[in-house]
Amino acid sequence: MLEQTDIRRRLTLTLAGFGASTLLVCLLAPLVGSTSISLAKVFDRTLPLADNVDAQVFFVARLPRVVAAGIVGAGLALSGAVFQALLRNPLASPDTLGVSAGATLGAMLALTAGADFTFMGVSVVPLTSFAGAVGALAIVFALSLARRRGTSSTVLLLGGIAIAALLNAAGRFIQYLADVTETFRTVQWLMGSLDVGSYAPIVASLVPFGLACVGFATLPRVLDLISLGEEAAEARGVDVVRAERVALVSASLSTGAAVSLGGPILFVGIIVPHIVRLIVGADHRLVLPASALFGASFLVACDLIARTIVAPVEVPVGIITAIIGGPFFLWLLFRGR
């Protein structure tokens, strides 16, 4: 029986449980790596930073990585959960509507044009990547504006898939025109990398991510209702058109920030909401915060594996998430869902 205190209690339990585990993972992760450091030396204030290798490894190499992984993981998981509710499809992902493809295209244009500038400490590739994501969002948004009231979100889905296909094709075309070096660079970028090495790109990504979170905060209950169907949601009092727009913009900003920071890392946006729903149920007031927290710790853990498993060589983090993602889906399939 769902007792009247249950929702509050479940929310508290969820936040506490996922919050604690995420905190734990994020505190431990910078302590582990392919090289060994001494914690005592890291926090030894008497040594100037320029002489303290251990501190540099901790604060310059590892910590930005963990923070970036946290943001990218949370961002992708949140937008995955939102897209799955918005499109009423548990297999939707941040890639479905083309935002990720737009970000990829933006990055590829920079990599193949050999573009070369920075803006406020952020280098060109993350900037053009984010611009590409916003461009894709603008196109999909324009499509959604053209929707008549009462038309199903199938239009949005089909339009988004078409945009994604077009942008992916454009990206492939750019790759085709590229020479060997440029192709090499784009292939590397496509594998994803969280080794940011500095805090500027992280801070920059917090702007769109923060905006996205403001939008996300208004969405949880509304997503529950929208997942019943647009008319069903409207009939219960949801301003569906406005809610879908907020969801679309927030999820796209979040995806854009994540892909610009770490490259297109697959499966996080699909797996994490799924796992979270298996644990906390379908109520998005639990699913959204839990996805953010679990997404962060999941990617931090994957990055940890990626940078230690075959040290001194690193495996691109996208491969680790895919290695986990594939079997996960097989397991889901055989579970008899």
Partner 1 sequence: MLLQAADLAFAYPGAARVLDGISLSAARGSIVGLIGPNGSGKTTLIRLLSGTLRPTAGAVVIDGMPLGTLSRRDLARRVAVVPQDTHVTFDFSAIEIVLMGRYAHLGMFALEGPDDFAIARQALAATGTTALESRRFATLSGGEKQRVVIASALAQASDVLLLDEPTTALDVGFQFEIATLLKQLNRDRGTTMVVSTHDLNLAATLCTELILLRGGRVLAQGATGDVLTAANIRRLYNVDADVTFHQRAGHLTVVPIARAD
Partner 2 sequence: MAPIQGSIGPRAQSKGDRGGRRAKCSGLSALCPLLFALFAFVAWSSAAPVFAQARRVISIIPATTEMLFAMGAGDRVIAIGSYDHFPPDAQKLPRVGALIDPNVEQILQMRPDLVVLYGTQTEFKRRLERANIPYYSYVHKGLGDITETMRALGKRVGVEAGANALAGRVENQLAEIRERVSNRRPPKTLLVFEREAHSLRNIFASGGEGFLHDMLVAAGGADVMADVHRQSVMMSTEMVLNRAPEVIIELRYSPEDVGGADLSAWSTLASVPAVKNHRVILLTGEEFVVPGPRVGGATRKLAAALHPELRW
Closer Cβ to partner 2, 84 or 112, answer by number = 112
Mark residues 36-75: x for contact with partner 1 by CB under 8 A, - for none: ----------------------------------------
As a whole number of angstroms, the longest Cα–Cα distance in the chain is: 67
**Span from 37-45, 83-91, 103-111, 115-123 in contact with partner 1 (CB under 8 A):** 83-91
Q: Show the 3-state SS of 276-301.
A: HHHHHCCCHHHHHHHHHHHHHHHHHH
Q: Which stretch binds partner 1 (CB under 8 A): 22-30, 207-215, 231-239, 324-332?
A: 231-239
Burial class (CB in 10 A: 0-12, 13-18, 19+), 6: exposed
On the CB side of 59, CA atoms within 13 Å amount to 12
Contact flag: residue 40 with partner 2 (CB under 8 A):
no
Can residue 3 be called a binding residue for partner 2 (CB under 8 A)?
no
| 44 versus 231: smaller Cβ distance to partner 1 | 231
Tokens 């590409």 map to which residue? 132
Of positions 20, 32, 203, 231, contacts partner 1 by CB under 8 A = 231
Q: Write the DSSP symbol of residue 319.
A: H
Residue type, 327: P
Span 102-141, contacts to partner 1 by CB under 8 A: none
Work out whether 279 is an interface residue with partner 1 (CB under 8 A): no
Q: How far is the CB of 164 from partner 1 (least distance, A)?
A: 21
Instruction: Give the phi and the psi of residue 271 in degrees, each rounded to 5.
Output: -70, -45
Residue 171, phi then psi, degrees to nearest 5: -60, -45
Binding status of residue 38 toward partner 2 by CB under 8 A: no
Bond preceding residue 30 cis, omega within 30 of 0: no
Is residue 148 close enough to count as binding partner 1 by CB under 8 A? yes
Site string for partner 2, 14-33 (x = CB under 8 A): -------------------x
The DSSP bridge pattern shows strands 122-123 and 118-119 to be: antiparallel
Site residues, partner 1 (CB under 8 A): 1-2, 4, 7-8, 11, 84-85, 88-90, 148-150, 218, 221, 224-225, 227-229, 231-232, 234-239, 277, 281-283, 285
